[in-house]
Amino acid sequence: MGEMEQMKKEAEALKTQIEAARKAVHDTDMASAASGVAPAPRVQLKTRKNLKGHLAKIYAMHWSTDNRLMVSASQDGKLLIWDSHTGNKVNAVPLKSSWVMTCAYAPSGNLVASGGLDNMCTVYNLKTPVIKTVKELDAHTGYLSCARFLSDTEILTASGDTTCALWDLETGKQKTVFLNHVGDCMCLSLSPDMNSFVSGACDSLAKLWDIRDGQCKQTFQGHTSDINAISFLPSGNAFITGSDDCTCKMYDLRADQEVIGYQDAALNSGVTSLALSMSARLIFAGYDDFNCNIWDSLKGEKVGVLSGHDNRVSCTGVPPDGMCVCTGSWDSFLKIWN
């Protein structure tokens, strides 16, 4: 048998082995296990702030670790830094390329980053007297879909070129490239311990990566279309995904599989974004149908909806202290709810 034939046979055998191992531990699902848990209360949140300022579709937003400032990105070619308590704009960062798809706030609050169809991740220093571009990270061969700072010296990016990368912000070079997806990478989420991250892609797969050795450790199937949103649970053992297949799913790392899905026959819009409440009990998922649906993460039931945007909800975020949820939309507004 030629080596190619041998490889094919071994690949098939390994896939069968993985499926069997997953099945062997699938003694229940989350919803059944949680049948005795009291249902989450019906969640009715009010819009507390309506942030007007962008002149075009908003594509991304990210909270600062101070629970008060946030950055938003719009295809009007600007990043805006908002004080969410007052609703005031603290800073405006003009972008070289208006085709922005992502933005990020560094944990220190010193830096923000943006990127999009320019294939680059640009990092800005907010603390210099005038906001300065400190680095243009240029090596991806496809659009930048997501960026997240580990610190003021390292940032992770996800790209339409099917790779994710870890960059050194002092040299501006890629330290590690994460290769394994076969479709555009659309989103990433850092684990709470910062040793790993998960990515979602247009190949409908989610992957867990070790940040230091660059290796893909686990691959999670189940979605039937692009995964647009992904978020680690604060417990670090599971993550939630949102997809163009109109569903969200929770995957557990240690069980190595999907443990519950969040879907409704009446929902036939893709999921664009998602965020978790502090205890991880509530999932806020933004959809193409202009709404943000609220799911009980343990029982898989819809417990509320945030309606008010006049176009697709493109981004969602809960600050670290869990005091509100922010939604951003193609209608050019951001809303703060609690």
Partner 1 sequence: MSSKMVGSNNLAHARRMVQQLRVEASIERIKVSKASADLMRYCGENAKYDPLLMGIPASENPFKDKKPCTIL
Q: Interface with partner 1 by CB under 8 A: which residues?
A: 3-4, 7-8, 10-11, 14-15, 17-18, 21-22, 24-30, 33-34, 37, 40-41, 43, 45, 48-49, 68, 84-85, 180, 215-219, 233-235, 237-238, 252, 254-257, 259, 277-282, 297-298, 318, 321-325, 336, 338
CA distance 209 to 173: 19
User: In the sheet where 248-252 sits, what is the strand order?
Assistant: 227-232, 238-243, 248-252, 257-262
Closest approach, Cβ 250 to partner 1, in A, equals: 8
Closest approach, Cβ 180 to partner 1, in A, equals: 7
DSSP 100-162: EEEEEE-TTSSEEEEEETTSEEEEEESSSSS-EEEEEEE--SS-EEEEEESSSSEEEEEETTS
Identify which of residues 195 and 279 has a Cβ nearer to partner 1 in the complex. 279
Identify which of residues 1 and 254 has a Cβ nearer to partner 1 in the complex. 254
Backbone angles phi, psi at 156, to 5 degrees: -105, 140
Closest approach, Cβ 333 to partner 1, in A, equals: 15
Identify which of residues 115 and 286 has a Cβ nearer to partner 1 in the complex. 286
CA distance 315 to 73: 10
CA distance 329 to 335: 9
Identify which of residues 68 and 89 has a Cβ nearer to partner 1 in the complex. 68
| Burial of 127 per CB tally in 10 Å (0-12, 13-18, 19+) | exposed
Closest approach, Cβ 280 to partner 1, in A, equals: 6
Identify which of residues 81 and 246 has a Cβ nearer to partner 1 in the complex. 81
Closest approach, Cβ 297 to partner 1, in A, equals: 7
Kind and range of the H or E element at 63?
strand 58-63
Identify which of residues 128 and 235 has a Cβ nearer to partner 1 in the complex. 235
The residues near 213 (Cβ < 8 Å, ≥ 6 apart) are none
Q: Residue 20 corresponds to which tokens in the numbers above?
A: 């069997």
CA dist 51 → 65, 77, 309, 320, 322 (Å): 19, 17, 12, 20, 19
Closest approach, Cβ 279 to partner 1, in A, equals: 4
CA distance 111 to 231: 22
- The answer to whether the CB of 288 falls within 8 A of the CB of 273 is no
CA distance 103 to 334: 14
Identify which of residues 33 and 56 has a Cβ nearer to partner 1 in the complex. 33
Identify which of residues 33 and 55 has a Cβ nearer to partner 1 in the complex. 33
Closest approach, Cβ 268 to partner 1, in A, equals: 27
Closest approach, Cβ 312 to partner 1, in A, equals: 23
Identify which of residues 14 and 55 has a Cβ nearer to partner 1 in the complex. 14
Kind and range of the H or E element at 4?
helix 3-25
Three-class secondary structure of residue 20 per DSSP: helix
Closest approach, Cβ 129 to partner 1, in A, equals: 29
